Amino acid sequence: MTAPPTHTLFVGSYGPADVATIHACSFDAARGELRMGASTSGITNPSFLVVSPDGAHLYAVSETGVVSDGSPGAVHAFRIAQEAGAVALNPVNERASGGDHPCHLTIHADGRWLVVSNYGTGSVVVLPIHADGSLGDVTSHLQHDGRGPHPERQEGPHAHAAIFTPDGRFVIAADLGIDRLLVSAFDPDAGTLRPHGEVATRPGAGPRHLAFHPSGSHLLVVNELDNTVTLYDWDGTGGRLREVSTLPTLEPGAPENLAADIRVAPDGRHLYVSNRGDDSIAVFAFERHRLMRLAVRPCGGAWPRGLSLTPGASHLLAANQHTGEVSVLPVLADGADVGGPVARARIPRPTCVALA
């Protein structure tokens, strides 16, 4: 089935609560047009967004901390509505994230549980999602411990992302501060996490974001500090990871860089990684249990923090934080390349793009 040509997307950005920090946009894939819609204020630093599986609600972190902002992190729930022919966000409620500087969210396939990664305090927590889309209080809290070799970025744990395994039985968390991928068993009745196992990355790698291959048998992890992507085999029965290979996200001689986001094409043949500093998108191929880097292309701006593939994988959206824009890059050569921007939306300090 062909994906509809017009897509609704939400962009999160850094900023105080008294300015618009979440922005609705529509993208017409047939015409290559990106249009701004309504914007929402009332939430500080919604740097990561996720839409519920049924498309009815949006959840946003408030990336704040006690020391830096005077308040711990929080998560906000919104109902996605159509008002006067336009998409609008209606606040539902908010809950404490169970730590400082929450930076990532993921929702269980059944839509009843939200997992939050708290970067500042290095913890992963679970919040229940009620039938009306509102959030309940924390049902599970896992505190990470340790440090890594980087004196400034790895002085302690920094949980950067956590995702459910394809069968929903486990949660895998990437902790940048301790160079670990931590596997936890998930109880979908109680909404609790139980430590199950872990695997160490290369020292100083700094695992940041992660994504499963559509086969469900492989995990791809982007490492922020050493600018690499690592392929792991995933044993879903035993809940175990095994490292297969690691490749750089940059060409030789590239400037100082911090790798950021990763997206895997729906057919599993290609994946895309954003490079902040080099300001580029690295394109990889996945074939016969092997990763190959095919190209490194300009991102259309500066500091591409978040990425999103449109339905049908016809375009890649990049949130370019430092140039204040979301750029739309066409996916070319059957997924093996990306072209220059065909559209842009001017948004101050964008960090994340979530498609409805």
pLDDT digits (tens, 9 = 90+) for 195-228: 999 999 999 999 999 999 999 999 999 999 999 9
Instruction: Please say if the pLDDT value at position 113 is more than 70.
Output: yes
Q: Helices in 40-100 by DSSP H: which ranges?
A: 66-69
- The answer to whether the CB of 80 falls within 8 A of the CB of 56 is yes
pTM: predicted TM-score of the whole model, two decimal places? 0.97
The pLDDT confidence band at residue 306, using thresholds 50, 70 and 90, is very high
| CA 174/CA 181 separation, integer angstroms | 5
Residue 335 half-sphere exposure, CB side, CA atoms within 13 Å?
18
How far apart (Å, rounded) are the C-alpha atoms in residues 44 and 59?
13
Q: What is the pLDDT of residue 4?
A: 58
**CB-hemisphere CA count at 13 Å for 73?**
29
Alpha-carbon gap, residue 50 to 162, rounded angstroms:
13
Confidence of residue 1 (pLDDT cuts 50, 70, 90): very low
Domain boundaries, the chain: 1-40+259-356
Alpha-carbon distances, residue 55 vs 62, 102, 148, 252, 356 (angstroms): 21, 22, 39, 42, 6
The correct answer on CATH 2.130.10.10 for the domain covering 1-40+259-356 is yes
| Token pair of 39 as six digits | 């914007």
Instruction: State mean pLDDT over 247-276.
Output: 98
Closest alpha carbon to 312 in 333, 336, 331: 331
